[in-house]
Amino acid sequence: MSLLAVDRLDVRHGLLHAVREVSFAVDEGEIVALVGANGAGKSTLLRAIAGAHLPSGGGIAFDGADITSMRAYNRVAQGIALVPEGRRLFGGMSVEENLKAAMRVGRRGYWTLDKVMELFPMLSARRDALAGNLSGGERQAAAIGRALMTNPRLLLLDEVSLGLAPVVIEQLYRSMRNVLQGGATLILVEQELTRALSVATRVMCMLEGRIVLDGPAEAMSRDQIVDAYFGLHRAARGRA
């Protein structure tokens, strides 16, 4: 049985049909890179899985249980954690306070305050600093650390690299190596295709709210993914 099963999911923003009849399943231990152009529906899909945006149709099952209408905080308690685009930390609280806040709704498990500080050394010296005063890389590390503090079974990472310098991105991924190699189940939205392919076991590409490519990362060429990303596979079929 799959850990996550999404069945013909529809999500709307008013009149905008952001996610269109999307179906897929994720097995425990998979690292899925979800790629696509801006506006393809990636962030909306993650938010729907996390419960931050209720769907207009279809269903979501987690570990065999229907969670389609479940509130977001209850999904966290079940083991789903979202690191949203923009980090969304509590700016007036310290790093340590942000991390501890997640413990109230999460599960007991491996990840503790000390373990997160060990994973992200850049946070250790800044644990008493206000989150609003952190650098971009520090904020992203704190956001990921906050999600880990809930001890998720499924971690949803939205735009890890957005707005960060290459050296900071490398530092973040180096710190996350223990998470990525430790049997975690992740869906990762990442604009840097090379970076996404370096960690993913599977790639899904979205275009105009639909999944147009889905398969093992090792079986896909970069050209295939780029063609799907820009919709060139449709043009090729139209000429055939």
Domain formed by 4-239, architecture: 3-Layer(aba) Sandwich (3.40)
Q: What is the pLDDT of residues 104-129, one digit of tens each?
A: 888 888 899 999 999 999 898 899 99
The token pair that represents 134 in the structure block: 């952190």
The token pair that represents 82 in the structure block: 């979202």
pLDDT of residue 19: 97
- Residue pair 154/80 in contact (Cβ under 8 Å)? The answer is yes
- Residue pair 116/149 in contact (Cβ under 8 Å)? The answer is yes
What residue spans define the domains of the chain?
4-239
Q: What is the pLDDT of residues 120-175, one digit of tens each?
A: 998 988 999 999 999 999 999 999 999 999 999 999 999 888 888 888 888 888 88
Q: What is the pLDDT of residues 171-197, one digit of tens each?
A: 888 888 778 776 789 999 988 888 888
